[in-house]
Amino acid sequence: MIDTAIAPDQAPAAPERLAGERESFVLSGGLRLRVREWGNPAGPPIVLLHGLRGFSGTWRRLAAALPDYRLVAIDQRGRGESDWDPRRDYYTDAYLADLETVVDALALTRFVLIGHSMGGATAYVYAARHPERLSALIVEDIAPGSSVRGEGAARIRAEMAALPPDFATWAEARDYWRRTRPSIDEAGLEQRLAESLCERGGRIGWRYDAAGISETRLNPDPARVIDLWPVVDAITVPTLVIRGAKSDFCALEAVNEMHQRNPRIAAVTVMDASHYVHDDQPVMFERIIREFLSRAAK
């Protein structure tokens, strides 16, 4: 039997591309944003927005499960292969402008929008402002107030405050991500290493703008922080919130209040899943999305 275990200090392999995976760049506000696409180019479009420290490739497994759709994922500004913002403008309204630019550049007149965490906040705002463009909205594990109060918000701020600037070895980087994301499997860990880190100057450094993004989260401009309650009240498209039963970020009480205030918003809680439902329970996550899209299409 061949031992396929990864040596602790081995550099991660580049994530395996799906058949037909496509890549392009869109200019938004002077920044080049990488866009990855999967699936049927003529299929119903789904646009995907990752979380605070995420990357477009996090959606590759979902794309493999939905081959009849055209999945479009953005490396949001400051992440992946997209440009870092020299002004450190990492606020919801900037992400919203990027999303508007990308969907216009790709001529997506009507599509499904899926967002996780930070990407979910942008997705809520887009849905409220552009209901005519969306056939459905799916948000993973974020509700009004998630980013400003509660255990999850405190955990993320603590992670940002204690973020190592770099690592001496890949072994140190692996240990960091295992501690930070204890529920992630080995394949997910290796993908996160490859997508979030790179060798630079003899060290292992962040591929994303760690300093700028951390500064925005730790010391936000109050005038730029969006209250999501009026936003979710205004949503008129079919909406599903998927939360993890073990999430410390998306409170069940807030999700229930969302539905009470706006009956168009439905919700489902996934057992044995944390804030990262698509990582922790990918098969269930994919099934929930397929079933919701099937209902929304009727």
Q: Does 38 have pLDDT greater than 50? A: yes
Average pLDDT over residues 125-133: 98
Q: What is the CATH topology of the domain spanning 22-148+225-296?
A: Rossmann fold (3.40.50)
In order, the DSSP letters of 258-279 are: HHHH-TTEEEEEETT--S-HHH
Average pLDDT over the chain, rounded to an integer: 95
Q: Does 5 have pLDDT greater than 70? A: no
Q: Does 1 have pLDDT greater than 50? A: no
Q: Per-residue pLDDT tens for 87-124?
A: 999 999 999 999 999 999 999 999 999 999 999 999 99
Question: 297: pLDDT confidence band, cut at 50, 70 and 90?
Answer: confident
Q: What are φ and ψ of residue 202, in 5° steps?
A: 80, 0
Q: Per-residue pLDDT tens for 74-83?
A: 999 999 999 9
Average pLDDT over residues 179-200: 92
pTM over 0.85: yes
> Looking at residue 8, what is its pLDDT?
72
> Looking at residue 167, what is its pLDDT?
96
DSSP 8: T
> Looking at residue 2, what is its pLDDT?
38
In the chain, where the domains are located: 22-148+225-296
Neighbouring residues of 268: CB distance < 8 A, sequence distance ≥ 6: 240, 241, 242, 243, 288
> Looking at residue 9, what is its pLDDT?
83
Residue 39 identity (one-letter amino acid):
G
> Looking at residue 15, what is its pLDDT?
87
Question: 237: pLDDT confidence band, cut at 50, 70 and 90?
Answer: very high
Average pLDDT over residues 21-39: 98
> Looking at residue 298, what is its pLDDT?
66
Residues for the chain: how many in total? 298
Quote the percentage of the chain above a pLDDT of 70.
98
